[in-house]
Amino acid sequence: MKTLIAPSILSADFAALGDEVRAIDAAGADWVHVDVMDGHYVPNITIGAGVVKALRRVTTKPLDVHLMISPVDAFIPAFSDAGADIITFHPEATPHPHRTAQLIRSLGKKVGVSLNPGSPISLLDYLWDEIDLILVMSVNPGFGGQAFIDAVLPKIAALRLEISKRGRPIYLEVDGGVTKNNAADVVAAGADVLVAGSAVFTGKAADYAANIKALRG
Ligand code: DX5
Ligand code: ZN
């Protein structure tokens, strides 16, 4: 199966965001990963649904929206209306994760659930039937450019095994510190979608295709 690459626009030039997204689209990105942070659930503030709506006009690639906000439910309809294709939330950031998953699904979007480096797989218990994607954080959420936490590799492998036991497709996406040096290990552990911010948005736009290719191995 082809490994999908989802560049995180967190590392893009925000003053030229539309051009940056056009550039990764042309460079072969499969999805566009959008990190939404609230300065409350995570110690940083980034962007909101208005930016997602603006980016929807510049690419037809799936918009993979990673919500690091708490409480999250009230914001989900706005991201759905803005054109998100996948909406991922953190189960610790909502009092009723099952309800949050149902809400995303009711809007016709793919449901993602994210596990922080310290979060156990058991957080997914009783949610499996609602999930289209698991986003494994390989750094603590909040900032781009952090170092990959190797202790997450066995968790990726364990999740791949769990997914194989279910009868339906669930993406296994890994986010944080992914580079050309560790991408093969992450894929070998079982990931099928790689998020990469700093590893893609390095150099000039003309370099992005090579950066993405290097991640595919
Ligand atoms: C961290 C974000 C990641 C991050 C990835 O909270 O969810 O998407 O920006 O950036 P790199 O690849 O630079 O670690
Ligand atoms: Zn992310």
pLDDT of residue 167: 87
Does 8 contact ligand 1 (Cβ within 6 A)? yes
Q: What pLDDT, in 10s, does the model give residues 49-69?
A: 999 999 999 999 999 999 999
Centre of ligand 2 from the C-alpha of residue 34, in Å: 7
pLDDT at 108 over 80: yes
Does 196 contact ligand 1 (Cβ within 6 A)? yes
Centre of ligand 2 from the C-alpha of residue 125, in Å: 22
Q: Which stretches of the chain are DSSP H helices?
A: 17-26, 49-56, 76-82, 97-106, 153-165, 183-189, 208-216
Which ligand 1 atom is the nearest neighbour of the CA of 137? 7
Q: Is position 81 annotated as part of the catalytic site?
A: no
All structural domains of the chain with their residue ranges = 4-216
Does 142 contact ligand 1 (Cβ within 6 A)? yes
Mean of the pLDDT values across residues 212-216? 97
pLDDT of residue 105: 98
The residue annotated as part of the active site, out of 30, 64, 132, 175, is 175
pLDDT of residue 24: 98
User: Considering the chain, what percentage of its residues have pLDDT values greater than 90?
Assistant: 98
Mean of the pLDDT values across residues 90-108? 98
pLDDT of residue 100: 98
What type of residue is 171?
A: Y
Q: What pLDDT, in 10s, does the model give residues 19-49?
A: 999 999 999 999 999 999 999 999 999 999 9
Q: Of 42, 41, 173, nearest to 94 (Cα)?
A: 41
Q: What pLDDT, in 10s, does the model give residues 132-185?
A: 999 999 999 999 999 999 999 999 999 999 999 998 999 999 999 999 999 999
Centre of ligand 1 from the C-alpha of residue 116, in Å: 12
pLDDT at 1 over 80: no
Mean of the pLDDT values across residues 76-100? 98
**Between vectors from CA 137 to CA 135 and to CA 179, what angle results, nearest 5°?**
105
Nearest Cα residue to atom 4 of ligand 1: 144
pLDDT of residue 18: 98
Under DSSP, the state recorded for 94 is S
Burial (Cβ within 10 Å: 0-12, 13-18, ≥19) of residue 22? middle
Nearest Cα residue to atom 6 of ligand 1: 141
Q: Quick one: how far is CA 83 from the chain centroid?
A: 15
pLDDT at 217 over 90: no
Which ligand 1 atom is the nearest neighbour of the CA of 44? 6
CATH of 4-216, one of 3.30.110.40, 3.40.50.80, 3.20.20.70, 3.90.1580.10: 3.20.20.70
Which ligand 1 atom is the nearest neighbour of the CA of 177? 14
Mean of the pLDDT values across residues 117-123? 98
Whole-structure pTM over 0.75, yes or no? yes
